[in-house]
Chain A
Amino acid sequence: MKENTKKKLKLKVSAIKDGTVIDHIPAKNLFKVISILGLDKIENQITFGTNLESGKLGAKAIIKVTDKFFKDNEINKIALIAPHANLNIIKDYKVVEKRIVEIPDVIKGIVKCFNPKCITNNETITTCFKVVLKEPLSLKCRYCEKITSGEQIKMY
C-alpha cells in the first residue's frame, strides 16, 4: 500500500522514456539549479515539479530532462545548493543508473567571495574557488587567496 502511494507521488510529474531525473532538490533552489545547469537555454523537453512533500527536505523539487545525460563536472555544480540531490538515469522508462552529486574540487561562479576588497567584488569577473575542505565547506579564492567558509558562503 505504502509503495503504491509513493509511486503515485512520483507520477505527479510524468515519466520520461530516456533522460535524467534529478530528485531531492530543495524546493527553494529549483530555479537556481535550472539556471546553473543551463536548462533554461536548451531545447530538450523538461518537466519539473516543486513543493512536493519530502521527509528529508520539507519541500522538494524534481526535474526530468528528456534525452539529456549530464557529465560529472556538469552536475556537480549543483552540489552547493542541492547537496542531497540524486540522479536517476533513465533508459526506456527504466532506471539504469543512480548517482549522487559530489562537491567538485574547483567551483566556478555560483559563490561570491566574502572579501569586499577582492577584485571579483569590484569588477565583473566569474569567481573561482579551490575547495580546500568539503565538510565543513571551505573555499579558497583563486584571486584574493582568502578563505570563504561556512556562513560566509553566499550565492550569486
Chain B
Amino acid sequence: MKKDLISITDYSKEEYLKIMKLASEFEENPNQDLLKGKVVASLFFEPSTRTRLSFETAINRLGGKVIGFADPGSSSASKGETLHDTIKMVSNYVDLIVMRHPLEGAARYAAEVSPVPVINAGDGANQHPTQTLLDMYSILKTQGTLDNINIFMVGDLKYGRTVHSLLMAMSEFENPIFNFVAPYELQMPNEYKIFLEEKGIKYFEHKEFNDIISEADIIYMTRVQKERFPDPIEYEKVKNVYILRNSMLEKTKANLKILHPLPRVNEIHSDVDSNKKAYYFTQALNGVFTREAIITHTMNLK
C-alpha cells in the first residue's frame, strides 16, 4: 500500500516521531543521494513560492529530479483538462507527486487516481500537513520535547488550517495546554473544542492579547487573511487587533519561541525579529529537512 500524506491525521504518533528523527538526521547531513534516478512531479495549481521552493530544495538535496509547473497558467489545467486526467498522465512519468491545489479535497482525490504516492502541499483551506510536521519539528528542536507544551495560538483560528492541524497533531502528545487568542469572528471552531474536551485536554479562550502570554512555551502567530473574508469591512475591523510587539515579550519564559507559518503581514512587528525568541525564519529552514524526511518516508527509502 502506498503511503500518501494528505491530512495530518493520516500519520500515527509513531510516524510523527519517525519524521522528527529523520528530519534531525537530514539537518545534520542534508545532502544524501537517496532519490538518485527518481523523478518527482511538483504540481502547483496555485502559486506558492515558499512551499514550492522548500519542496524542490528538499528533492534536489536528495539527488532527485523535478518536473512540473509553478502556476496553473503554465499547466494543462488552463486548457480545461480535469485534475483526474492531469494526475493520470503525470503519474505515468514520475515516482512521487507533490501537489498544491486551490480546491479542498483535491489532494485526496489525486491520491485515489494516482498509482504513485501523493504528498499534499496544501488543498485550499483544508490541509497542509507538511507545514504541521515542520511546526512540530520546530517545537521539538526548541523545547526538547513535544510533551507538556503550552501553546498560544493567535489570530485567525477559524480559517487557519495550520492551527487546526497543529492542534490535532499536538493532541497526540502528553498534556498539551492550548490558549486561543482570537477576535469573536475568528474563534476556534466548535468541532476542535469538542475534540479537545473529548480527549480531556485543557484549553482557554482569550479576547485580550497581553500579559496572558507569560506562561507560553510557544506562540503560534497566524495571518488574518483578507481573502478568507466574504465582506471586506469585517476584515478591516479585525486586521490590526492582534499584533505581537517586542515590548510584550519582557516577562515571558526564557524557552519561549515565536512561530509563524509565514508570510506575515503586520501581525508580528519587525522589532520582534531581533529578539532571540523569534524563530519564524529558522522554522522555514526546518521545512526543508522535514520535507526530506517526509519524502523518504513516503517512498520507503528510510
- Which residues from chain A sit less than 8 Å from chain B, CB to CB? 113, 115, 117-120, 122-125, 141-147
Q: Are A144 and B105 in contact, with the CB atoms below 8 A? A: yes
Known: A141-B105, A143-B109. A123 touches B126 (CB 8 A): no
Report A148 CB to chain B, min CB distance, Å.
12
Contact A146 B82 (CB under 8 A): no
Whether the pair B105, A143 counts as a contact (CB closer than 8 A) is: yes
Distance in Å from the Cβ of B128 to the closest Cβ of chain A?
Answer: 12
Q: Which residues of A contact B101 (CB under 8 A)?
A: 119
Q: Contacts A144-B126, A145-B7, A145-B126: A119 and B106 contacting too (C-beta < 8 A)?
A: yes
9 tightest A-B contacts by CB? A143-B105, A144-B104, A144-B105, A119-B105, A119-B106, A119-B103, A143-B108, A117-B104, A119-B109
Q: Between A and B, how many residue pairs show CB distances below 8 Å?
A: 52
Number of interface residues of B (CB under 8 A): 18
B109: which A residues are within 8 A, CB to CB?
119-120, 123, 125, 143
Please encode chain B, from 62 to 90, with 1 for each CB lying within 8 Å of some chain A CB and 0 for all others.
Answer: 00000000000000000000111000000
Interface of A is mostly: loop
A145, B104: Cβ atoms closer than 8 Å:
yes
- For the complex, is B124 an interface residue (Cβ under 8 Å from A)? yes
B17 at the interface (CB under 8 A from A): no
B198 at the binding interface (Cβ < 8 Å) = no
Which B residues fall within an 8 A CB radius of A?
7, 82-84, 101-106, 108-109, 123-127, 191
Q: Which of A117, A124, A146, A147 contacts B103 (CB 8 A)?
A: A117
CA distance A145 to B126 in the complex (A): 7
Q: Is the CB of B7 within 8 A of A119?
A: no
Residues from chain B with Cβ under 8 Å of A119 in the complex:
83, 101, 103-106, 108-109, 123
Main secondary structure, interface of B, reads mixed
Which residues of chain A are within 8 angstroms of B7 by Cβ–Cβ distance? 145
Residue in contact with B105 in the complex, picked from A120, A124, A147, CB distance below 8 Å? A120
Q: Tell me which residues across on chain B come within 8 A of A124, comparing CB atoms.
A: 82, 84
**Bound form: Cα–Cα A61–B104 in Å:** 39
From A113, which residue of chain B is reached at the shortest CB distance?
B105
Question: What separation, in Å, do the CA atoms of A103 and B280 have in the docked complex?
Answer: 47
In the docked arrangement, what's the CA distance between A124 and B105, Å? 13
Residues of chain A contacted by B125 (CB below 8 angstroms): 117
Report the minimal beta-carbon distance from A29 to chain B, rounded to whole angstroms. 28
Give bound CA distance, A52 to B126, whole Å: 46
**Known A117-B125, A119-B106, A125-B84; 15 more pairs at CB < 8 Å:** A117-B103, A118-B103, A118-B104, A118-B105, A119-B104, A119-B105, A119-B108, A120-B109, A123-B84, A142-B108, A143-B104, A143-B108, A144-B124, A144-B126, A146-B126
Q: How close is A112's CB to chain B, nearest CB, in angstroms? A: 13
Query: Can you list 12 A-B contacts (CB < 8 A)?
Result: A117-B103, A117-B125, A118-B104, A119-B83, A119-B101, A119-B105, A123-B109, A125-B109, A144-B103, A144-B124, A145-B105, A147-B191
Residues of A within 8 A of B191 (CB): 147
Docked CA distance A119–B125 (Å)? 12
B85: nearest chain-A partner, CB-CB:
A123
Residue numbers in A under 8 Å from B83 (CB-CB): 119, 123
A124 and B109 alpha carbons, distance in the complex (Å)? 11
Residues of A within 8 A of B126 (CB): 144-146
Tell me, rounded to whole Å, the shortest Cβ–Cβ distance linking B87 to chain A.
Answer: 11
CB distance from A131 to the nearest CB of B (A): 15
Smallest CB–CB gap between A123 and chain B, Å? 5
| Cα(A115)–Cα(B106), bound, Å | 13
Output the least CB separation between B252 and chain A (Å).
35
Q: Which residues of A contact B106 (CB under 8 A)?
A: 119, 143
Chain B residues in 8 Å Cβ range of A142:
105, 108
Complex Cα gap A141–B102 (Å)? 17
